[in-house]
Amino acid sequence: MTVVLEVDNIVKSFVKKRNVFGIASEHTHAVKDVSFTLEKGRTRAIVGESGAGKSTIGRMALRLEKPDTGAIRLFGDDILKMSAKSVRQLRSRATMIFQDPFNSLDPRMLVGQSVAEPLTLHTGLRGRDRENKVVELLERVGLRVDQMDKYPHEFSGGQLQRIAIARALATDPELIVCDEPVAALDVSIQAQVLNLLQDLQAEREISYLFISHDLALVKMFAHDVTVMRRGEIVESGPTAQIFEDPQEAYTKDLLSAIPVMNPSKRAARRALAAT
């Protein structure tokens, strides 16, 4: 299997406090010695409580942030030693979608313009070819062509996340870091958006680094799971193994905390499981 992302012993700390002279006096150890791999066409979930370091790992994987020490290889290249130009080129192959789709889209831009933007930045498509591509992308995520002339505030959360996905897909990425992509959506809509992501993965062999605190969704969606706590990996392995035979007390606690589902949530999960 082709390894798309390889993270080796990464460490990251942030300055938490500075003294009166502006010198760092306290640090947050956000990520401590974390290693994992993500294979082509597969999904690895990163789970754990708030502040565990999940988003920091996601940002480092795309070189939006640099670790203090450790190595990260993306598509076989060491991204920490890359030139700024190579990093820019990387943006078309590896991208991110966020929890709040409203904040990730420019409120003053028509949706069609938002989806066209990465095409302008990273591809040679212009004029009618670019417009055709925008239409194709919007249709692929389940929106209508006439909706490209609307502004973000005219859409629901689920539709906005579809638009954010269309935008992410524009450059045909091989890796998408999904940081809590459905956490802000109604449960019934969560399953639809995850189904779309799963279909796209099957079609295009996209790899997902799927950051989530919702273990019930992770069980359905991810092939592999890495459980994190306070910057460290607690355990890591194939999803079935982690869920059926957790080795660590912390993982057992997380699993036992999966809420008893209400009927609408159960229906949404069934819809997802049936695909």
Ligand X SMILES: Nc1ncnc2c1ncn2[C@@H]1O[C@H](COP(=O)(O)OP(=O)(O)OP(=O)(O)O)[C@@H](O)[C@H]1O
Binding residues vs Mg ion (CB under 5 A): 55
On the 0-12 / 13-18 / 19+ scale of CB atoms within 10 A, 217 is buried
In whole angstroms, how close is the CB of 252 to ligand X at the nearest point? 20
- Residue 56 interacting with ligand X (CB under 6 A): yes
Is the CB of residue 9 less than 8 Å from the CB of residue 34?
Answer: yes
- Residue 173 interacting with ligand X (CB under 6 A): no
Residue 33's nearest CA partner among 56, 12, 4 is 12
- Residue 11 interacting with ligand X (CB under 6 A): no
Cβ-based nearer residue to ligand X, 137 or 178: 178
Cβ-based nearer residue to ligand X, 41 or 51: 51
Judged by beta carbon distances under 5 to 8 A according to partner kind, the member of ligand X, Mg ion, none in contact with residue 213 is ligand X
- Residue 53 interacting with ligand X (CB under 6 A): yes
Q: Binding string to ligand X for residues 181 to 220, with x set by CB under 6 A, is what?
A: --------------------------------x-------
In whole angstroms, how close is the CB of 7 to Mg ion at the nearest point? 17
Cβ-based nearer residue to ligand X, 30 or 225: 30
Longest alpha-carbon distance in the chain = 60
> Is residue 136 helix, strand or coil?
helix
Residue 118's nearest CA partner among 143, 96, 151, 100 is 96
Cβ-proximal residues to 262 (8 Å cutoff; 6+ apart), any chain? none
Residue of minimal CB distance from Mg ion?
55
Residue 25 structure tokens: 């006096």
In whole angstroms, how close is the CB of 260 to ligand X at the nearest point? 22
Residue 66's nearest CA partner among 3, 4, 10, 9 is 10
In whole angstroms, how close is the CB of 76 to ligand X at the nearest point? 26
Cβ-based nearer residue to Mg ion, 119 or 178: 178
Rounded to 10 degrees, the C-alpha dihedral 174/180/182/184 comes to -140
- Residue 32 interacting with ligand X (CB under 6 A): no
Residues that bind ligand X (CB under 6 A): 14, 28, 30, 48, 50-56, 213
